[in-house]
Amino acid sequence: MAAAVRTSVWLDGKTTRSRKTSQPATGLDRQKITEATVRLLDAEGAAKFSMRRLAADLGVTAMSVYWYVDTKDDLLELALDQAMGEVVLPDESVDDWRTHVRQLAVNYRKLLVTHPWVSPLVGEFLNVGPNAQLFSTAVMNVMKASGLSPRHQAGGLAAVFQFVYGFGTVEGHFLDRCARAGMTQDEYFARAMSAVSLNPGLDAMMEQSRDLMEARGGETVEEMRDRDFDFALEVLFAGIEAMGGRPGPSTP
Amino acid sequence: MAAAVRTSVWLDGKTTRSRKTSQPATGLDRQKITEATVRLLDAEGAAKFSMRRLAADLGVTAMSVYWYVDTKDDLLELALDQAMGEVVLPDESVDDWRTHVRQLAVNYRKLLVTHPWVSPLVGEFLNVGPNAQLFSTAVMNVMKASGLSPRHQAGGLAAVFQFVYGFGTVEGHFLDRCARAGMTQDEYFARAMSAVSLNPGLDAMMEQSRDLMEARGGETVEEMRDRDFDFALEVLFAGIEAMGGRPGPSTP
DNA sequence: ACCTGAACACCGTTCAAGT
DNA sequence: ACCTGAACACCGTTCAAGT
């Protein structure tokens, strides 16, 4: 007989486990537990999150949570999909596909930055909860409108959204490090740069970095990152058009 | 006084902690410990890795490792940089920049896929070890040769290598899941698809997926992914060229 | 200089028991 | 139906002690 492999809460999990009694003892609830999880992950980070910590936050014993959720991983999947629901999807009845892609890209980036714990989970789990599926559908629809041939849509989609995933992931982690170290982004950046420059035998590396910094002008770290993100999106749009996508409204 | 914030083994860590005695008691060594760590992470995954597990593998008591390494995080940073060293860098004296970028992209993807534990660490740590710096230097050099203006090189770099990071990350995790479930990629994929299709109220979503699958033809999951990756790289090259990069050898 | 053992403050999860 | 307490098999790390 086939091995009982667990794939996801959404696929193998028991249905909702919602409360059956009208007079609850503690007022607990899958939704409430998920919300508390997201709140704790935001506030204290994934490293500090635990079932016991969560239970304490809910004013309940550690094991009560297990009535509503099978494992910690299941709970993380629920939190992941909850967060995915924050990505606002474009209204496809207006504007062109570039605007839609940009909106999705910007909003997906925002999700990864405001919830740095999300990106490891996206990699780790199948991410097929209801909100994730709405997001996927929106992404696929928007690529359909790109003018790329069906054969090429998946590749174009990957180019754009894996880029955003990578970009938002390192950005989110960096912001997280800054916050936990109690520094601004620019302070942390300067500190890391100067520490690196103290290392021996890295003249070539440092030269590169310095050149790049100067070329970027005197902006803040955040401004540079925003500009890099915007330019990368322009590269992707131009590339999709060159590979058979619908031309933009104005390509001067 | 400034807070004593730990940034990285490479920046704040004690230097090398190499052995001073000629007659070692156990033959332990930073390098040996790092290699054992990589081997265990590959074989059993990040979730199962622990200092105690590592010590057992080295035939030593759990706390011996702490003589060579301050914390588990430091050890993970060492393992990360060790893995980064596997990315073979292009010989920049031959071929054009596209070939170099492609080589770096393909090799970086390979790293992320063969060591799925690497990608969370890339996000989590500064990744400024010696091998990481060699990699960064190579990436920056190669972008310099792209013909993009200095102002735009960082954005172009992000577009390409954050894409590869995202792509390799989800690919690596997927392969990992398949291996641990004892299924082939195609089996696992079919299973997930059919499980998703059992969910209620997802007709629109499924329709999309089915269309996409048919458009992809009857290839295996691996073939589809390779094709998507190659096409995405073509999109990026075309986009970089359109935004001011050096034209390719032949653009028919 | 290098390694050990005991101990501390944690984990996720199981299970029998309560109401 | 829902919640608790005790227990099991783990963690990372500290610290005093050994050689």
Q: What is the SS3 string spanning chain A?
A: CCCCCCCCHHHHCCCCCCCCCCCCCCCCCHHHHHHHHHHHHHHHCHHHCCHHHHHHHHCCCHHHHHHCCCCHHHHHHHHHHHHHCCCCCCCCCCCCHHHHHHHHHHHHHHHHHHCCCHHHHHHHCCCCCHHHHHHHHHHHHHHHCCCCCHHHHHHHHHHHHHHHHHHHHHHHHHHHHHHHHCCCHHHHHHHHHHHHHHCCCCHHHHHHHHHHHHHHCCCCHHHHHHHHHHHHHHHHHHHHHHCCCCCCCCCC
- Mean pLDDT on A193-213: 66
Q: Which pLDDT does position B216 carry in this prediction?
A: 63
- B2-30 pLDDT, tens digit per residue, is 446 788 898 887 666 555 555 566 789 99
User: Residue A53, CB, less than 7 Å from strand C?
Assistant: yes
Q: Which pLDDT does position B240 carry in this prediction?
A: 98
Q: Could you tell me how far CA A47 lies from the centroid of its own chain? A: 17
- How does the average pLDDT of chain A come out, rounded? 88
Q: Which pLDDT does position B247 carry in this prediction?
A: 87
Per-residue pLDDT at B1 exceeds 60: no
**A216: distance to nearest CA of chain B, Å?**
5
Q: Which pLDDT does position A226 carry in this prediction?
A: 96
Would you kindly state where each structural domain of chain A is located, as residue ranges? 30-84, 97-243
The Cα–Cα gap between A207 and A214 comes to 11
Q: Which pLDDT does position B114 carry in this prediction?
A: 97
- Mean pLDDT on A200-223: 70
A190 or B145: whose pLDDT is higher?
Answer: B145
- In the DSSP assignment, the letter for residue B218 is S
Per-residue pLDDT at A243 exceeds 80: yes
Using CA coordinates, name the residue in chain A closest to B15: A199
**B168: distance to nearest CA of chain A, Å?**
9
- B112-156 pLDDT, tens digit per residue, is 999 999 999 998 998 889 999 999 999 999 999 999 999 999 999
Architecture (CATH level 2) of domain B30-84: Orthogonal Bundle (1.10)
B237: buried, middle or exposed (CB in 10 Å: 19+, 13-18, 0-12)? Answer: buried
The residue type at B214: E
Which of B150, B118, B121, B122 is CA-nearest to residue B136? B122
- Nearest nucleotide to A67 (CA to C1') is D2
Is there a contact between B94 and B144 (Cβ–Cβ < 8 Å)?
A: no
Give me the residues near strand D, CB below 7 A: A 19-21, 24-28, 60-61, 63-64, 66-68; B 49-53, 62-63, 66, 71-73
Q: Which site among A235, A236, A241 would you substitute to test the B interface, given the most B Cβ atoms closer than 10 Å to its Cβ? A: A235
A4 or A6: whose pLDDT is higher?
Answer: A6
* Contact at CB, A211 and B150, closer than 8 angstroms: yes
Per-residue pLDDT at A210 exceeds 90: no
Q: Which site among A84, A163, A209 would you substitute to test the B interface, given the most B Cβ atoms closer than 10 Å to its Cβ? A: A163
- A42-95 pLDDT, tens digit per residue, is 999 999 999 999 999 999 999 999 999 999 999 999 999 999 999 999 998 888
Q: Could you tell me how far CA A40 lies from the centroid of its own chain? A: 17
Q: Which pLDDT does position B181 carry in this prediction?
A: 85
The residue type at B125: F
DSSP letters for A137-158: HHHHHHHHTT---HHHHHHHHH
Contact list in B for residue A11 (CB cut-off 8 A) is 192, 195-196, 198-199
- Nearest nucleotide to B25 (CA to C1') is C2
Contact list in A for residue B156 (CB cut-off 8 A) is 231-232, 235
- B188-230 pLDDT, tens digit per residue, is 888 877 777 776 556 666 666 666 666 666 689 999 999 999 9
Sign of CA dihedral B141, A244, A247, B232: negative
Per-residue pLDDT at A252 exceeds 50: no
Is there a contact between A77 and A128 (Cβ–Cβ < 8 Å)?
A: no
Q: Which pLDDT does position A94 carry in this prediction?
A: 84
The Cα–Cα gap between A77 and B128 comes to 31
Is A167 strand, coil or helix?
helix
Matching CATH number, A97-243, of 3.40.50.150, 1.10.357.10, 3.40.50.720, 3.10.310.30: 1.10.357.10
- Confidence band (pLDDT; 50, 70, 90) for B252? very low
Q: Which pLDDT does position A3 carry in this prediction?
A: 43
Is there a contact between B163 and A239 (Cβ–Cβ < 8 Å)?
A: no
Whole-number distance in Å between B98 CA and C5 C1':
58
Q: Which pLDDT does position A136 carry in this prediction?
A: 93
Q: Which pLDDT does position B119 carry in this prediction?
A: 95
Q: Which pLDDT does position A2 carry in this prediction?
A: 41
- Confidence band (pLDDT; 50, 70, 90) for A7? confident
Which of A83, A128, A123 is CA-nearest to residue B199? A128
The CA angle A70-A76-A79, to the nearest 5 degrees, is 115
Contact list in A for residue B191 (CB cut-off 8 A) is 7
